[in-house]
Chains A and B, each alone.
Chain A
Amino acid sequence: MLIQLMGPWPWYVTGFLVGLFPAIMLIVGNRLLGVSANLRHACAMALPRWSDFFRYDWRSKGAWNLAFGVGILIGGAIATSFLANPDPIALAPATQASLGALGVHDLTGLAPREIFSWQFLTTLRGAVMILGGGFLVGFGAAYAGGCTSGHGLAGLADLQLPSVIALCSFFAGGVIGTMVLIPMILA
């Protein structure tokens, strides 16, 4: 059992378990699954001045969500400490070749060490990838009113048309970022 837990999970197991979460959150506390609202709660907590968008009681509205977010962080630590897959991810050969052409050769771990290091962060290219990418995620999620979990899972589960549009746009942006922008930055 533990060996199976530690090895790579088939996509349908992951998909099924993730797919249960919108329903679980509704049943447990009438909550709509979402993670990016935590970014807003963080702003409401730290710097609520200058915008009505952040003037609300984050304790009553967001405490459950913040607890959920902290849990995700702990879950990441548990998964890599006690349930870690000893082998590198079975990446498609075509992707290995594409990344190699961009100078990304170390395919171990969850993110390439050549990019996601404190050292690379101090370079212009690193800052664009890490800080620029993070900024776009936060700005875009707030603008779109949700992220992959809020729109992609919870919104779609409720058959909301805005969430379908949002998810398609996430993908369009992702393809543009991957095919056009990342090669320009890393070249």
Chain B
Amino acid sequence: MSAPTLPHSSPRHSEPSNAPRAGARPEPSLWVYLLLGILFGIILTKGEVISWFRIQEMFRFQAWYMYGVFATAIPTAIVTVQFIKRRQLRALSGVPIEIPPKEMGSGTRYIAGGVTFGIGWAFTGACPGPLLALIGAGVPVMAAALASAIAGTWVYGLLRERLPH
């Protein structure tokens, strides 16, 4: 099987080190991603990150808990991802790991979209990952919030050309 490439990744210059290794393994199956999702969901739930109460605590600056989670998660993520980049590690399938950069544009989308998102995060106490975890964790009405979130994304798709980015 030939090395799979991400649809939006731009091919790098053909340095020999970027060519897929001989005997490259296939893409992981969807079951692997399902399993990783299960682990992520367990961690989010057990870590109380999906708790509406914890989110209230955070946005009211009344407890360290959520700040502690972020203050540990972000450095861990930076160190591990930067290690991968510096060492130019390959994915298990043998393809070089590439992270597409985000376009800055005017920056408006990150501020306007971000503030909009944050208000919704405060109301529901959940961002998209926790929204899914909460449905599984016995708050079935969150399915209505999820449906509404899909509707929100759909409306953005309609208005996208008219919004400043």
Write the residues of chain A forming the contact surface with B, with a CB cutoff of 8 angstroms.
5, 8-9, 11-32, 35-36, 38-40, 42-43, 46-47, 50-51, 53-54, 56-57, 60-61, 63-65, 67-80, 83, 85, 89, 91-92, 94-95, 98-99, 107, 109-112, 115-118, 121, 128-149, 151-163, 165-179, 181-182
* Contact in complex: A19, B148 (CB < 8 Å): no
B-side contacts of A23, CB under 8 Å: 77, 80-81, 83-84
Chain B count of residues within 8 A CB distance of the other chain = 122
Contacts A68-B37, A139-B153 hold; do A28 and B92 have CB atoms under 8 A apart? yes
Main SS class of interface, B:
helix
Residue of A nearest to B163 (CB): A143
Interface centre among A30, A68, A94, A117 (most CB of B within 10 A): A30
Pick from B39, B84, B131, B155: contact of A75, CB below 8 A. B39
Nearest CB of B to A169, in Å: 2
* Contact in complex: B133, A29 (CB < 8 Å): no
Bound form: Cα–Cα A43–B129 in Å: 17
* Contact in complex: A170, B121 (CB < 8 Å): yes
Nearest CB of A to B49, in Å: 7
* Contact in complex: B98, A169 (CB < 8 Å): no
Bound form: Cα–Cα A9–B47 in Å: 6
Nearest CB of A to B122, in Å: 3
* Contact in complex: B57, A95 (CB < 8 Å): yes
* Contact in complex: B148, A134 (CB < 8 Å): yes
* Contact in complex: B113, A142 (CB < 8 Å): yes
Pick from B52, B76, B82, B95: contact of A110, CB below 8 A. B52
* Contact in complex: B157, A143 (CB < 8 Å): no
Bound form: Cα–Cα A70–B30 in Å: 11
* Contact in complex: B33, A68 (CB < 8 Å): yes
A-side contacts of B28, CB under 8 Å: 28-29
Pick from B68, B93, B137, B152: contact of A12, CB below 8 A. B68
* Contact in complex: B141, A176 (CB < 8 Å): no
Task: Tally the A-B contacts, defined by beta carbons under 8 Å.
Answer: 518
A-side contacts of B123, CB under 8 Å: 128-130, 132-133, 136, 177, 181-182
Bound form: Cα–Cα A95–B150 in Å: 31
B16 close to A (CB within 8 Å): no
Pick from A15, A53, A73, A175: contact of B135, CB below 8 A. A73
Pick from B78, B98, B107, B113: contact of A143, CB below 8 A. B113
* Contact in complex: B102, A153 (CB < 8 Å): no
* Contact in complex: B70, A15 (CB < 8 Å): yes
5 A-B pairs in the complex with CB atoms less than 8 angstroms apart: A91-B57, A169-B113, A173-B115, A173-B120, A178-B122
* Contact in complex: A173, B121 (CB < 8 Å): yes
* Contact in complex: B128, A137 (CB < 8 Å): yes
* Contact in complex: B135, A174 (CB < 8 Å): no
The 8 tightest CB contacts between A and B, nearest first, are: A71-B37, A75-B41, A173-B118, A169-B114, A15-B72, A19-B76, A133-B123, A140-B117
* Contact in complex: B84, A29 (CB < 8 Å): no
- Those of B133-161 within 8 Å (CB) of chain A: 133-142, 144-158, 160
Pick from B48, B60, B74, B121: contact of A153, CB below 8 A. B74
* Contact in complex: B97, A153 (CB < 8 Å): no
How would residues 84 to 103 of chain B score, 1 for a CB under 8 Å from any chain A CB and 0 otherwise? 11000101110111111111
